[in-house]
Amino acid sequence: MSSTVVAQRPAGLSGGELRTLALAALGGALEFYDFVIFAYFAKIIAQHFFPAAQPDWLRQTETFGLFGAGYLARPLGGVIMAHFGDTLGRKKMFAFSVLLMAVPTLLMGLLPGFGLLGVGAPLALLVLRMLQGAAIGGEAPGGWVFVAEHAGAGRIGLACGLLTGGLTAGMLIGSLVALALNTALPPATVADWGWRIPFLLGGIFGLIAMVLRRWLEETPVFAEMHARAELARRLPLATILAEHRVAVVLSIMATWTLTAAIVVLLLMMPALLQTLHGFPPSATLYASLVATLVITVAAVLVGAATDRWGLRAMIVPVTGLLILGAWGLYDVAPAHPGWFLPLAALAGLGGSYVSLVPIAMVGAFPAPVRFSGLSFSYNLSYAIFGGLTPAFVSALVTHSPYAPALYVTATALAGAIALWAMPGQAGAIPGGLAGNAAAPDAGKGHLSGA
């Protein structure tokens, strides 16, 4: 049997599309805020949840181990939620991912420490952190699929860009909340109970976002597949591994570059520049804020630009900016400290590469297995490269201070090739969404915004 799933919608953003994009971006921002806020208070968390008799370095190492456990849970959570997203509906999993993040975050803010629970305190924290990881594993892939399938003709890039900007905005909000809290309260108060405030706020606002997401409608693409009985007839992941291995490999490569842009240019940048070149912590903090703010705005603009000129037209300029931004931070800025903030902004512009990845991936997989294909590729790549990049780059800098820029350059070139070769891109209309691979147990399947 041959079938085609086509969603015909008028150009422009309707009121319903605006509401969908706004709620999706808001929920994504809150989820990423909840996920990263742990890192900003890791030192204080270590003091509360591990024995006081342990050395500070050991307690902090154990706490970062708990932080890393969240990344390990991402692939499993993403695969499970993607399976049900492809079989039961995008909307249900999209709302559930917020709930799965909000509840553990709220409980972290209420959880007693080692003095009351003993060894149960770090074990409970580990479980909550892994639940957070499972939630984030489904949020980004599910969000990209949800907004792309809701987007009108010629608006898929804008939709994915807005959601991506929302995700990076969550990181920005986390750093601003940590800065505001440490400014408003004395250090002793923050260490005593103030550190719980960001977790309580994140949990409460996450629950509100979950309620708001219940007002969203199922995507037209999934609704039409359901009506035509064209949902996957076997395990979606099995179909992905059997029939769409090229798309999976290219998506993993493209996501590798995404992790380098986030990890090397944003997360590791303050510590690396302080250690390698003696930059003061305050300078690197403000540079990180500038880079994160710029990448949040640029992600939306680059996404919208793909609607006008097509994905392939944006690959070379955005990849070039990513490479220039990396060398600006790790080569030019140490020699010209006065240029540090503008160079951080340039790195943020290059980091807008993160918008190109989901736009390519939603077109690389057919609708019946789109959620599973995107989630499996993205989360597997992030678990491997997101976890290994900090250690790998840290080891390389002992041989060359330019190692971070060289690493980003290498991954950027690999990612550009992957994006160019991604299925569904050749001949696609700017802003159109097409999956040219065979749908499971059917003939050709695609989603088009044209």
| pLDDT category of residue 382 using cuts at 50, 70 and 90 | confident
Between 135-144, 379-388, 421-430, 432-441, the lowest mean confidence (pLDDT) is in 432-441
Q: To the nearest whole number, what is the mean pLDDT of the chain? A: 81
Q: How far is 118 from 393, CA to CA, in rounded Å?
A: 36
Tokens linked to 308: 């006008």
Higher pLDDT pick, 331 / 50: 331
Say if CB 442 and CB 368 are below 8 A apart.
Answer: yes
Any residues with CB less than 8 A from the CB of 354 and at least 6 apart, and which? 164, 168, 258, 261, 262, 295, 299
Q: In this predicted structure, which of 21-25, 81-85, 230-234 has the lowest mean pLDDT?
A: 230-234
- Residue 60: what pLDDT? 63
pLDDT digits (tens, 9 = 90+) for 20-34: 777 777 777 877 787
Q: pLDDT band at residue 77, thresholds of 50, 70 and 90? A: confident
State the average pLDDT over residues 373-387. 86
Residue 416, helix vs strand vs coil? helix
CA pair distance 342, 158, nearest whole angstrom: 26
Average pLDDT value for residue range 231-253:
82
Query: In the structure, what pLDDT confidence band is assigned to residue 328 with cuts at 50, 70 and 90?
Result: very high
Q: How confident is the model at residue 269, as a pLDDT? A: 86
Q: Looking at 181-195, 339-353, 373-387, 414-428, which range is the least confident one?
A: 414-428
CA distance linking residue 182 with residue 282, whole number of Å: 13
**Around Cβ 414, how many Cβ atoms within 10 Å?**
15
Highest mean pLDDT among 18-22, 176-180, 365-369, 414-418: 414-418
Read off the tokens for 320. Answer: 């070039």
Query: What pLDDT, on the 0 to 100 scale, is given for residue 140?
Result: 82
Structure tokens at 18: 């605006």
Query: Per-residue pLDDT for 168 more than 80?
Result: yes
CA distance between the termini of the chain: 24
Is residue 284 over pLDDT 80?
yes
Taking the C-alpha atoms of residue 200 and residue 106, their distance in angstroms, rounded to an integer, is 5
> Phi first, then psi: what are they for 285, rounded to 5°?
-65, -50
In the structure encoding, which two tokens stand for residue 41, read together? 């208070």
Summarize pLDDT for 202-225 with one digit per residue, the tens: 889 888 887 877 776 666 665 665
pLDDT band for 358, please (50, 70, 90 cuts).
Answer: very high
Q: For residues 272 and 397, is the Cβ–Cβ distance under 8 A?
A: yes
- pLDDT band, very low/low/confident/very high, at 15 (cuts 50, 70, 90): low
Report the pLDDT value the prediction gives residue 14, as an integer from 0 to 100: 62
Does residue 3 surpass a pLDDT of 70?
no
**What's the whole-model pTM score?**
0.80
Q: Can you read off the two tokens belonging to residue 378?
A: 């993205």
Average pLDDT of the segment spanning 269-273: 83
Give mean pLDDT, residues 179-194.
Answer: 88
Q: How far apart are CA 81 and CA 86, in angstroms?
A: 9
The rounded distance, in Å, linking the Cα atoms of 243 and 436 is 12
What pLDDT, on the 0 to 100 scale, is given for residue 13? 58
Supply the angle between the helices 156-184 and 281-309 in degrees, to the nearest 10. Answer: 170
Share of the chain above pLDDT 70, in %: 83
- Write the CATH number of the domain with boundaries 15-421: 1.20.1250.20
Structure tokens at 338: 């006065």
